[in-house]
Amino acid sequence: MDAGEVPKNSSTVDDSKLIATSSDDYSSRLIKSSISHGILKFGTFELKSGRISPYFYNSGLFNTGYLLNLLGLSYASKIIELKDELEFDVIFGPAYKGIPIASITAAELNRLDPIKYHALGFSFDRKEAKSHGEGGTIIGSPLKGKRVLIVDDVITAGTAIRHSIKTIHDHGGVFVGVLVNLDRQEKSGDSLRSAIQIVEAEFNTKVHSIIKLDQIITLVHSIDGYQNELLQMQNYRDQWGIKPPPQN
């Protein structure tokens, strides 16, 4: 560390509030652990869209057994919460980041509710078809005749999700919905809708998420020492955030 550089865990930040507790719900645990392990970072980040974001969520950093289990538990907890709404036979993870998500989520669901989920299948696709060995583009549980739930980290433009839906249909599966880790709740390009809202309208489906930008802002608001980060995220949301639906 260079001289004069102040680490984020200095005395100005109340790190005790980043410690996940048994009283936290799964979303809060995931947000706290994402901040404390550097998965959710604050600063200045240029996105593919060209926007300058005050935060960046790097799901590729769920790279230890502990963090992967935490991620799987979060997905599984959300699915169990939605069990009356989501009925599926196979979890599908798009290559590449969706692969470990699908695997650990299936394992966690079996651990939490083995009676309901012991026969749950999971599968993922290859970027390129393989002509030898097992061949094809799909690895894992067959999709034909199965209800398939897609799990991924985030929807940015919707390209990967559209490809996954086509893959499921091409292999005789029935697409039933999407679950992602983070909903950035921001406008997609020049649209007034988010990428998630566009996908929902295009495929007449529901895209569920574990955490939303609003939840991150609420949690950061409770932590001393993050006032500047909070202000930057609020300003970003004011500029690029989607508008809440009108109240009836």
Q: Does residue 202 contact residue 173 with C-beta atoms inside 8 Å? A: no
230: tokens are 């909070």
Give the residue numbers marked as catalytic.
Answer: 130, 132
88: tokens are 């599926």
DSSP state of 120: -
191: tokens are 């649209």
The DSSP result for 52-100, as a single string, is EEEEEE-GGG--SHHHHHHHHHHHHHHHHHTTTT---SEEEE-TTTHHH
Query: Closest Cα partner for 152 from 162, 166, 143?
Result: 162
Q: Does residue 142 contact residue 59 with C-beta atoms inside 8 Å? A: no
Spatial distance between the Cα atoms of 179 and 155, rounded to a whole number of angstroms: 10
For residue 84, count other CB atoms closer than 10 A to its CB.
6
Spatial distance between the Cα atoms of 54 and 231, rounded to a whole number of angstroms: 10
